[in-house]
Amino acid sequence: VLACAAASASAQYFSEGWKPGQPVPTGYINSPGRPAANDGGDNGAGVEAGVGGKDHVSLFDFDFNTILQSAPVAALFAKAGINITERIEAAANSFWDERIPLITDDNWRDLIINEPLDEQEEAKRVWAIVVSPARARPDAIAKFVDEEFDLAYNNTVNAGDLEHVRWGRIDYMDVTYLTTKWNIWNGPFIIICKDRGQTLYFYRANQLRIRDGALRDFLLQEVYENHLPWKSEFGPGGSREWVMDFLAEAFSKVYSVVYRIPRWVGFMITGALGSLIMNFLHRNDAKKKPQPQARERLSAAATQEVPAATGEKS
């Protein structure tokens, strides 16, 4: 008991300097795309134990990657000389340029809204963000936008300018809350974000010239300032922004359950629902069919009329 009490006391979540409901200290907000610094203290371990721990495990806490990395399955791969954990992590991280941080539902507030900046830096800060569906839908347009976005980033790093611009990528198929809040229902998109997410410019792939470094010139010349940002009652700062927040929260909860369902189970469920719907729509078809007795009476009447008509003609 004393050991548990000591471990809880060492956790940052229960530290004396921070209480639930207060703003997150800026000192603990990690820089985008960089791992958190570990000074060798116990605070980091305390945070992971206090926040990441779970009291119970449910069926929906598992996905296919979890099964592959489980001890029995991992042992089978290990006998074949395959480290399945490293393979899965490499596949997840190598799809896009790792230098461009992924903006997710979990970190977007820390990266964009709560980024530690002074007044001068805050006034200049610009986020260039690409919303990419390429991981789930690797079509030519999504691939082209990703390549040109990475090219603009590389050229900027080599030139050493645009220091006020931060670069980020949103995996459209893995982000639900933020894309719903920003009213994004497909991709790819290029987003220019300012004022800690309060000023947003949206550009579809066919609305903005990005080929051959044009995206970098677009940022250098601040061409977006000549365009109108998204201003709506449902947008950031609008009187009905709460509606988008509500939808984003609801869709996030639904997605957190649905995406864990195996595809074959989904096929079974949709097939059963389709069968029920078809049976419901055609429930009255049997009543419309002629009864056998009625058909027999019609046939008998027809055979009786034919001889009479023939006799009249003769």
Q: Please report whether residue 43 resides in a domain.
A: no
Provide φ and ψ at 193, rounded to 5°. Answer: -120, 130
Task: State the Cα–Cα distance between residues 24 and 53, nearest whole angstrom.
Answer: 19
Supply the pLDDT for residue 212.
86
Supply the pLDDT for residue 20.
47
Q: Please report whether residue 32 resides in a domain.
A: no
Supply the pLDDT for residue 77.
73
Q: What's the total number of domains in the chain? A: 2
> Do 191 and 228 belong together in one domain?
yes
Supply the pLDDT for residue 279.
81
> Do 209 and 250 belong together in one domain?
yes
Task: State the Cα–Cα distance between residues 314 and 305, nearest whole angstrom.
Answer: 15
Contact status, residue 165 vs residue 128, Cβ threshold 8 Å: yes
Supply the pLDDT for residue 72.
76
Supply the pLDDT for residue 228.
93
Q: Please report whether residue 173 resides in a domain.
A: yes
> Do 137 and 70 belong together in one domain?
no
Q: How many CB atoms lie within 10 A of CB 8?
A: 13
> Do 76 and 204 belong together in one domain?
no
Supply the pLDDT for residue 113.
93
The tokens describing 72, both together, are 């029995």
> Do 144 and 68 belong together in one domain?
no
> Do 118 and 86 belong together in one domain?
no
> Do 76 and 151 belong together in one domain?
no
> Do 89 and 179 belong together in one domain?
no
Q: Please report whether residue 76 resides in a domain.
A: yes
Q: Residue 105: left (phi > 0), alpha (psi -120 to 50), or beta? A: alpha
> Do 69 and 153 belong together in one domain?
no
Task: State the Cα–Cα distance between residues 92 and 102, nearest whole angstrom.
Answer: 12
Q: Which domain holds residue 169?
A: 108-258
38-79 pLDDT, tens digit each? 444 444 333 333 334 444 444 444 455 666 667 777 777 777
> Do 130 and 242 belong together in one domain?
yes
Report H helices in the chain.
2-10, 43-52, 64-68, 71-79, 84-93, 108, 119-124, 140-159, 177-181, 214-220, 241-258, 263-281, 285-288, 292-313
CATH at 228: 3.40.30.10
Contact status, residue 213 vs residue 153, Cβ threshold 8 Å: no
What is the value of pTM for the model shown?
A: 0.59
> Do 85 and 190 belong together in one domain?
no
Residue given tokens 């791992």 in the structure block? 35
Residue given tokens 């864990």 in the structure block? 260
Q: How many CB atoms lie within 10 A of CB 286?
A: 7
Residue ranges of the chain whose pLDDT lies below 50 = 1-20, 24-62, 309-314
